[in-house]
Structure 1
Amino acid sequence: MSAIGLSAPPSSAPFTARFPWAQGRDPLLHPYELRSNPLLERQSARESNARSYPRRLPIALRRGHGIYVEDVEGRVFIDCLAGAGTLALGHNHPVAIEAIQAVLRDGLPLHTLDLTTPVKDTFVETLFGLLPPALAGKARVQFCGPTGADAVEAALKLTRIATGRRMVLAFQGAYHGMTQTTLDLMGNLGAKSALGGNNAGVQFLPYPYEYRSPFGADPATTVAHSLNLLESVMTDPEGGVPAAAALIAEIVQGEGGVIPAADEWVRGVRALTERSGVPFIVDEVQTGFGRTGKMFAFEHAGVVPDVLVLSKAIGGGLPLSVVVYKNDLDLWQPGAHAGTFRGNQLAMAAGTATLRHIEAEGLVEHAAAMGRRLRDQLRQLQLRHPVIGDVRGRGLMAGIELIDPAGPSSHLGHRPAAREAAARVQQACLRRGLILELGGRHSSVLRLLPPLIITANEIDRVAAILDASLSLELG
């Protein structure tokens, strides 16, 4: 593992001082003290009980540059949360800032509902230029409200209208948003319990989670069993499951614990949905635009979905979401889906600049290479730390599942999830200057979503912080 010291940000960076670890105050060696301050106290007193991130990440941020953020106390952190994957180019990237400033300088309208503008036209042309030709040549786009959840809602509406059916097939471990409808598609029961736990019009199926196979099988057999079950559900006239309006899936489950689906499984799902006439919705809200080492995660398997849901990175850090879908589904009527902020011109301008930069600078390939480096480093940590049960992911979307090495073993040899250990490691990483999130079953997976611009030295720094945090917190 390379040296942990990093150079200071360029002089154009918005930070007023060099990084603390360049001044002999490296938080890896001298961890930050996590203490309250007036901003955090007012937030706790005034914000909703539904707030989530500040409970685990008690910091108040004031500036960001690239993969780094600085809090109000002058402490600097590597941001491997990055807006849950929204900030593909990191904080305040010059190409996004210049695009936003150009819109403001030119006096362009900031919101236009779905009226077109040169900014919007350029955005659409840029987006379609990144789609696989098999989809771009026969696709339409619907602009939605600012969040990925609204785009998922639009995708469900689209397919239900086009097919005349209601039932949707979804997968255990899925996350597609937090609105009332998208909660029905969520695998996690926690957020649904207060609402009665309903899954109206949704049939859940096991996701091919190789480390903890829902079929109690090895990876290859898990894929085969999953596809066999899906075929039975879709074709058995006595199976009790109505014909589906759509099947929705993440190619890599994010919130579910960074679980990549095998390419063979994705191809099998695509074949079954085509044969059954069921539209295949792929949710790429978190995985789209280079995150997994391909422009879109479904490209790893060489398939093309019927409906593609996009948000997060598409707006260059600003709120934007769209649904791209095949022409033959375009059967809904004018006004069937709308949203006041679907004409966000600043987001379209920033999004165009971001998408073009990703392509021009080879950041998709860079993400693939840096992702391999990161997983190699994490697998080295796995050899030294028995608490690491599994390392997985694709591109710059990595997951580390923590286990209780002393707990009872399953018949596959896997130990129980270690939720409390994951929470302690997350806090230890924060004190050492690394922001990461938890996810997966029992919140036992450390999730890393760094900006696509992260360098090899910065990957090594992340691994060094994880190594120290695991060693000092868990032994």
Structure 2
Amino acid sequence: MMTDKVRIDHFGANSSGNNEAFLARQAEYESNVRSYPRKLPFAIAKAQGVWITDVENNQYLDCLAGAGTLALGHNHPDMLQSIQNVITSGLPLHTLDLTTPLKDEFSAYLLSLLPGQGKEYCLQFTGPSGADAVEAALKLAKKYTGRSGVISFSGGYHGMTHGALAVTGNLSPKEAVNGMMPEVQFMPYPHLYRCPLGIGGKAGEQALAYYFENLINDVESGVRKPAAVILEAVQGEGGVNPAPVEWLQRIRKVTQEHGILLILDEVQAGFARTGKFFAFEHAGIEPDIIVMSKAVGGGLPLAVLGIKKQFDAWAPGHHTGTFRGNQLAMATGLTTLRILKDNNIADQVAEKGEWLKGQLAELQKRYPVIGHVRGLGLMLGIEIVKPDQPQDHMGCYPADGELSALLQKKCFEAGLILERGGRHGCVLRLLPSLLISKEELGVFLDKFEGALMAAGVKPVSAE
């Protein structure tokens, strides 16, 4: 036992060694399914705030933050203290769906953040991931309505479990997976740069809203009335696409008129990430079911549904999950929610996001490979394009997924961690800690411009 303790202490606190050696062992131990180590080839020794240190003592500015999970960054002291408090309290670490004083406090606080201070909502704790919560939301919508269809949107991402994957837009993980959940109808989602209808601008948004409403109303559409519509108010993995306010309001109006449950997937965009506590708040709507995970657990696994009480059609035990009683996650989640609320972090995120978009717009003038900068708050996307090729009829250049991948690599070599997304992986995505400072965002800008130059991209003024 002492040997095991020494090994744990050593690798947990005093890690050193060689990145390549760790990666080689990981390749030996783990399935081919691993993805991040292929794009970010290092082994992490420690992390603090927005900074990560690898086993070779190299430092990286982390603008991924666990795909948005770490709202307060790495190892926030209040977060660590909340974990210590649970460990020394005598609480069990997992309780299934049995309650505790901690769960009681967390539930009340989370509900208070939902529309109308949560008076019309109840909570359902599901399995520990966002995909688990999506599965529960889809099942509940079908159970309540007695209908089986679901409408989702191109570019949407809802998880990798069977039902969640069925309503996810990306085709790659669906290859050779037969027997997907039936009656999933995909609709085009608005895109600020590449309108799916080829119209663009306000006219494109209005046409997409009309298209959706007509599909629901048309008795010859071929699509049966669905149980639910599921969407993200800001698509994340799909390339950071915010839903236009009027379009989202129209979706809400039509679903209400037809008794279709509207499920808002706030797994990545929720909890101040977009400059509002929830991304759907930008449109002033109230969903029927809100899917929450990532930041809600303060960095630890937790997934929760906010359900309008009138739609809570579950019978006892009809949807379960062993790890839905994760007490540590409720402690870190409660700490996160309080810090975000008490310090008006959403307002600060909105201000920093607008400042950063302005800085990126200036960078775009010098580097035309930056085709489009979009997003809300600190959920931003930079679409990389081929400006030396002809524009389409809407003025858009072809996407450049290869350069985007090279830029991610050059960013990593410069000590900057970014994710990619969107069609052809052409969008570089920013999801940093919500507490990142303007000075640290300045470091990001410097490193990003350095990566552009290292990738052989010349500024316009130098040509």
TM-score grouping bracket, smaller chain normalisation: over 0.9
Q: Does residue 45 of the first structure (1) align with residue 28 of the second (2)?
A: yes
Residue 183 of structure 1: aligned partner? 165
Q: Does residue 230 of the first structure (1) align with residue 212 of the second (2)?
A: yes
Give the Cα separation in 2 of the matches to 1:128 and 1:60: 38
Q: Does residue 217 of the first structure (1) align with residue 199 of the second (2)?
A: yes
Q: Does residue 206 of the first structure (1) align with residue 185 of the second (2)?
A: no
- Within the candidate set 426, 430, 452, 1:444 is matched to 426
4+ runs deviating over 4 angstroms: none
Residue 308 of structure 2: aligned partner? 326
Q: Which moved more, 1:247-256 or 1:199-208?
A: 199-208
* TM-score w.r.t. length of structure 2: 0.94
Task: Give the drift of 1:362.
Answer: 1.6
Q: Does residue 66 of the first structure (1) align with residue 49 of the second (2)?
A: yes
Unaligned runs of 5+ residues in structure 2 are 1-11, 459-463
Task: Give the drift of 1:196.
Answer: 3.7
Give the Cα separation in 2 of the matches to 1:97 and 1:365: 25
Give the Cα separation in 2 of the matches to 1:201 and 1:109: 42
Residue 420 of structure 1: aligned partner? 402
- Within the candidate set 215, 226, 231, 1:244 is matched to 226
What secondary structure, in the 3-state scheme, does the structure 1 residue paired with 2:225 have? coil
Residue 461 of structure 2: aligned partner? none
Check the 8 A contact 1:177/1:183 in 2, yes or no: yes
- Within the candidate set 302, 315, 326, 1:344 is matched to 326
Task: Give the drift of 1:410.
Answer: 1.3
Q: Which moved more, 1:408-417 or 1:225-234?
A: 408-417
Q: Does residue 379 of the first structure (1) align with residue 381 of the second (2)?
A: no
* TM-score w.r.t. length of structure 1: 0.91
Residue 247 of structure 2: aligned partner? 265
Task: Letter of the 2:199 partner, please give it.
Answer: A
Residue 110 of structure 2: aligned partner? 127
What secondary structure, in the 3-state scheme, does the structure 1 residue paired with 2:358 have? helix
Give the Cα separation in 1 of the matches to 2:347 and 2:367: 30
- What are the within-5 Å matches in structure 2 for residues 275-294 of structure 1? 275-294=257-276
Give the Cα separation in 2 of the matches to 1:407 and 1:48: 39
- Within the candidate set 54, 63, 67, 1:84 is matched to 67
Task: Letter of the 2:430 partner, please give it.
Answer: L
Q: Which moved more, 1:198-207 or 1:153-162?
A: 198-207
Q: Does residue 113 of the first structure (1) align with residue 79 of the second (2)?
A: no
Check the 8 A contact 2:126/2:136 in 1, yes or no: yes
Residue 27 of structure 1: aligned partner? none
Task: Give the drift of 1:463.
Answer: 1.0
Task: Letter of the 2:375 partner, please give it.
Answer: G
Give the Cα separation in 2 of the matches to 1:345 and 1:371: 33
Task: Letter of the 1:373 partner, please give it.
Answer: W
Give the Cα separation in 2 of the matches to 1:380 and 1:404: 18
Residue 390 of structure 1: aligned partner? 372
Give the Cα separation in 2 of the matches to 1:409 and 1:371: 28
Structure 1 residues 338-382: Cα deviation after superposition (integer angstroms, max 9, x where no partner): 000000000001100110011111211111111111111111111
Task: Letter of the 1:472 partner, please give it.
Answer: A
Check the 8 A contact 2:13/2:45 in 1, yes or no: no
Give the Cα separation in 2 of the matches to 1:246 and 1:380: 42
Task: Give the drift of 1:43.
Answer: 0.7
Give the Cα separation in 1 of the matches to 2:122 and 2:386: 48
Unaligned runs of 5+ residues in structure 1 are 1-13, 17-34
Q: What is the root-mean-square deviation in Å for CA atoms of aligned residues?
A: 1.4
Give the Cα separation in 1 of the matches to 2:414 and 2:364: 20
- What are the within-5 Å matches in structure 2 for residues 453-472 of structure 1? 453-472=435-454
Residue 156 of structure 1: aligned partner? 138
What secondary structure, in the 3-state scheme, does the structure 1 residue paired with 2:185 have? strand
Give the Cα separation in 2 of the matches to 1:111 and 1:198: 33
Say how many residue pairs are matched: 443
Task: Give the drift of 1:263.
Answer: 0.9
- Within the candidate set 355, 358, 361, 2:337 is matched to 355
Task: Give the drift of 1:408.
Answer: 3.2
Give the Cα separation in 2 of the matches to 1:141 and 1:49: 36
